Chain A
């Protein structure tokens, strides 16, 4: 008769120990292992899916091919004008599907983007912006003003934009539009 309560007490104590160990030792370690890498990730992917979004006006080629059309799209939020400018250009040069058609040549990537205190933005694009270009004057104008207007129309802090290719200043993209100096917003090319 005396043995049974002892056995029950030992059983209860064991169960309590297991529960206690699980609650205070094992589970926190497991959680911390799971969460640590996520918290430490620097979030390099521009469109962080669950992140904060803002609306921006991006530009695509109009149906008749002669002008740009402004399209409001949700893009990733960037902390400060510079980060936001990078998010806007990343979204603007990303490939699109019909019915949208972009004036940015396929394969073009953003190498760098920086700003001066005076509100000039320098957008450094990869070589595809010239090598994959159709070469037409009209397309060249639309390519240039897609970038210029995407920044100047969405960010008041940016008043003009100069395009660079592979880190260098260029005269033109394909022999027509003068890129030797920053260009201001031009909504005459937008429908």
Chain B
């Protein structure tokens, strides 16, 4: 008697596990087409069912994704509730009543076994009226964007130009992009959360025609398009063409054997890091000069690592890289406050930037902490007391006599408070720089901080102080001296400058 339940249990258990496994696998990898839901929390796929050539999704799946309550009434109506607001669907009617308002659907709800299916348009026509966040259904690409994520639509075109080829990449709505090169591969990274791009990006016949210059082009991660060049590829030139709602990136691919073609714009940079692409964007108007300040120098070593690395040497090496990259690729003048091993007073460093009317000031340093484990880069901005900010406001009606007679109004701001008027743009540049550094170097838990730093206070232009890492941390000391790390910092600064300049040119600045 006692032994009888055991065999039944022993038989049932493996069966339950097997069914559970199959169920979990099938729920993770929906077979067939699916609707990709992109939200701030991540992405998920909702299976799409085809009913009479219409795309349907299961109400259960929508309920799980959007916290809806679905209830089937005794009279056959289906109510969908979200935060007290109700949508009523009626079987065999291509209509939905949304909080008392009728909206049409392309097809009536359809039953599949025990589940109810609704046309995908139910989301954009009915659910969106009651849901808290914006629901942007992009039916052709089977994409649903939840909230205010930046997910530009990408359209790629290829044209043969005789001597080479031209790729035109349109991003709508506008999204900034950065072009870099890794080995042979050209990478176009968009400032967005995801891309709404067709797959494949180019139709097979177009790709076949482009083969001498473009072997393949595809989306490699959520926000990057990778272009693998073909056998005749010799170099490229990238340019941004502004348009109303679309950001157009034109990449001209230049052949290797065409003597008459303009030489690929590979700059003669003094010390370009290995991954520097020969990319050129239109000449800047908002930024013409940048001051880069390698901290310390001479008898002032700055921080010394346990392995003997001196901050003054490290920051000078990185500053030279930054100068090489920016001057070589952007044509922007870069002034170094010191280009050898000597100490310059802090005020002289800022004065060099002010006197040369630099448009941006970047001071480079390496950090130290009494806690040996502290690590990560920090971007510092100047900080001022409230009383300082008040003092920095130009005195109204300050009149001085001019040569030849007469009076002229002038604005007088104390030297040590010049930065107060540029803090907004300094914050903007720091934010952009943080984004660029994030994928290349470890960042501190507080990547942007403010402090009354002497070298920044007098800078009469947007100014930041970058602490690249901690020489007091043994592991970081090793990292900081490695070529790849230093090149990564230089590349991040370069890309931050490009984006900051684009932002200023677009009217976001002065």
A residues apposed to B, CB below 8 Å: 61, 63-67, 101-103, 134-139, 141, 171-172, 175-178, 180, 183-184, 186, 188
Partner of A137, one of B300, B383, B416, B465: B465
The reply to whether A137 and B445 form a contact with Cβ atoms under 8 Å apart is no
Q: Which residue of A lies closest to B471 (CB)?
A: A136
Nearest-neighbour CB distance to chain B for A13, whole angstroms, equals 77
Kindly state the separation between the CA atoms of A184 and B457 in the bound complex, as whole angstroms: 16
Given contacts A103-B370, A171-B454, A175-B295, contact A135 B303 (CB under 8 A): yes
Question: B365 in the interface, Cβ–Cβ < 8 Å?
Answer: yes
Give the interface SS of chain B, mostly helix, strand, loop or mixed: mixed
Could you tell me if B467 and A137 are in contact, using CB atoms closer than 8 angstroms?
yes
Q: Is the CB of A138 within 8 A of B454?
A: no
- Which of B365, B370, B452, B471 is in CB contact (< 8 Å) with A101? B370
A176 with B369, Cβ < 8 A, contacts A66-B444, A134-B303, A136-B303 known: no
B385 near A136 (CB under 8 angstroms)?
no
Interface presence of B470 (CB below 8 A): yes
Contact yes or no, A171 B303, CB < 8 A: no
A67, A138, A141, A180 pick with most chain B CB within 10 angstroms: A138
Docked CA distance A149–B445 (Å): 22
User: Which chain A residues lie closer than 8 Å to B367 at the CB level?
Assistant: 136-139
| Chain B interfacial residues counted at CB < 8 A | 38
List B residues 310-359 near A (Cβ within 8 Å): 311, 346
Q: Which 3 pairs from chain A and chain B are nearest by CB?
A: A136-B368, A65-B374, A65-B371
A103 CA / B371 CA spacing, docked (Å) = 10
Shortest C-beta distance, A96 to chain B (Å), equals 11
Q: Which of B304, B446, B453 contacts A66 (CB 8 A)?
A: B446
Question: How many angstroms between the C-alpha atoms of A141 and B451 in the bound complex?
Answer: 7
B236 at the interface (CB under 8 A from A): no
Residues from chain B with a CB closer than 8 A to the CB of A102 are: 370
One of A139, A172, A177, A188 near B370 (C-beta < 8 A) = A139
B122 at the interface (CB under 8 A from A): no
> B451-493 interface mask toward A, CB cutoff 8 Å, 1 = contact, 0 = none?
1111101000000010100111000000000000000000000
Q: Which residue on chain B has the smallest CB distance to residue A160?
A: B385
Residue in B368, B370, B451, B457 whose Cβ sees the most chain A Cβ within 10 Å: B370
CA of A26 to CA of B350, assembled, Å: 78
Q: Tell yes or no: B237 within 8 A of A by CB.
A: no
A-B contact pairs, 17 of them (CB 8 A): A61-B370, A63-B371, A67-B446, A135-B302, A135-B304, A136-B369, A136-B470, A136-B472, A137-B465, A138-B368, A138-B467, A175-B302, A176-B455, A178-B452, A178-B454, A183-B452, A188-B450
For the complex, what is the distance from the CA of A38 to the CA of B400, rounded to whole Å? 70
Q: Would you call B296 an interface residue if the criterion is a C-beta within 8 Å of the partner chain's C-beta atoms?
A: yes
A residues less than 8 Å from B370 (CB atoms): 61, 65, 101-103, 134, 139
Query: B467: nearest residue on chain A (CB-CB)?
Result: A137
Whether B454 and A137, one on each chain, are in contact in the complex, defined by CB atoms closer than 8 angstroms, is no
Nearest-CB residue, chain A, relative to B444: A66
